[in-house]
Chains A and B, each alone.
Chain A
Amino acid sequence: MDIIPAVDIRGGRCVRLTQGDYARETVFEEDPVAAARRWADLGARRIHVVDLDGAKGGKPVNDAIVRAIAASMPCPVQTGGGIRDIETFRSMVAGGLDRIAMGTAAVKDRALLRAIVAEAAPHLIVSVDARDGRVALEGWTEATDLDATDFIRELTDLGVQRVVFTDISRDGVAGSPNFEAYERLTRETSMAVVAAGGVSRVDDLRRLAECGVEGAIVGRALYTGDVDLREALEVLA
Chain B
Amino acid sequence: MPDVVIVDYGAGNLRSVARAVAHAGVDATVTADPRAIEGARALIVPGVGAAADTMANLRSGGLVEPIREYIASGRPFLGVCMGMQALFEVSEEGGEHECLGVLGGRIVRFPQGLTVPHMGWNTVHLPTPHPVFEGVPQDSYFYFVHSYHAQPADPAVVVGATEYEGVTFPAAVGRGNLLATQFHPEKSGVDGLRLYANFLRLALEHGSIAPATTTA
Contact = CB atoms under 8 A, between A and B. Distances in A.
Interface in B1-36: 12-13, 15-16, 19-20, 23
Given A45-B121, A122-B119, A74 B12 contact: no
A96 B81 CA distance: 14
B17 to A, nearest CB: 10
Interface string A96-112: 10100000000000000
A75 B12 contact: no
A146 interface: no
Interface string A62-83: 0000000011111110000000
Interface in A105-131: 122
Contact of A96 (B16, B20, B143): B16
Contacts of B13: 96
Given A71-B16, A122-B117, A76 B143 contact: yes
A96 B119 contact: no
B67 interface: no
Interface centre among B16, B20, B193 (most CB of A within 10 A): B16
Given A45-B121, A122-B117, A122-B119, A74 B15 contact: no
Contacts of B19: 71-72, 74
Interface residues of B, number: 20
A223 B187 CA distance: 23
A94 B184 CA distance: 15
A159 interface: no
Contacts of A73: 16, 187
A40 B189 contact: yes
A12 interface: no
B57 interface: no
A74 B119 contact: no
Nearest to B141: A45
A74 B117 contact: no
B94 to A, nearest CB: 15
Interface string A37-53: 00010010100000000
B12 A94 contact: yes
10 contacts: A40-B189, A45-B121, A73-B187, A74-B19, A74-B189, A75-B143, A75-B188, A96-B13, A96-B15, A122-B117
